[in-house]
Homo-oligomer: A and B are copies of this chain.
């Protein structure tokens, strides 16, 4: 049952390969869009390297501050995969091999289930498994922390087992006016006036420049559809009054 309260989450991206520039992260965006469907706001994100102290500190800060924390990366079999260790340490609980994962792995690997692979079976005490429908062992949830893979296709597969565990918030509705051929400089004053008149909504301007033309997308976001629509109509009028034309109302897209 959706409530009117705000439910928040943070994302912690773990991995030297993101900070070195070797890998372009896409998990943040996938998670933001996924949790938005459940009315959960992504409130903050952090990227840290494969360094125990950094991960432990970030986990404890973010899980304390937001309703949920979702981590990505660092759950493979190699020595630089230390996320499970760090989450256990952050929560002050021991890390154990999970019998269900050991059973899955034994069926898959038989005699080739070596020490490195067994590392991936370790779950902090009290954790539950997050299904991995794609490839390899599951992730886990402990308290309000979800620990997911870093490989995007696997991470997205695991996310499907996260949504139903979230407390559902009021979904954010977003409506966008696309304005072509005017700069943000002429839209700023009417936009600010309307933003002030609707303190419960958030409004942003996202300019675009392309060979085909320039302009800005003006986005109104809020949890009350009637209010968002009223603000969107007011903004349209305010823009026209300012002499701004070429305004298209794009479909609401939930973002």
- Residues on A lying within 8 angstroms of B by beta carbon are 15-26, 28-33, 36, 41-50, 54, 76-80, 109, 112, 114-117, 119, 135, 151, 153, 172, 174, 184-189, 191-192, 195-196, 202-207, 209, 219, 221, 253, 255
In the complex, how many angstroms separate the beta carbon of A222 from the nearest chain B beta carbon? 12
Least Cβ–Cβ distance between A158 and chain B, in angstroms:
15
Closest Cβ of chain B: how far from A92's Cβ, in Å?
24
Chain A binding surface, main DSSP class = mixed
CB pair B42 A48 closer than 8 Å? no
A114 CB to closest chain B CB, in angstroms? 6
Which chain B residue has the least Cβ–Cβ distance from A48?
A: B44
Q: Within the assembled complex, what's the spacing in Å between the Cα atoms of A219 and B18?
A: 13
Say whether, besides A20-B221, A255-B20, A209 and B44 are in contact (CB < 8 Å): no
In the bound complex, CA of A184 to CA of B28 (Å) = 25
Does B80 lie within 8 Å of A23, measured CB to CB? Answer: no
Shortest C-beta distance, A253 to chain B (Å), equals 8
List residues of chain B with CB within 8 A of the CB of A184: 76-78, 116
Q: Which of A28, A33, A50 has the most B CB atoms < 10 Å from its CB?
A: A28
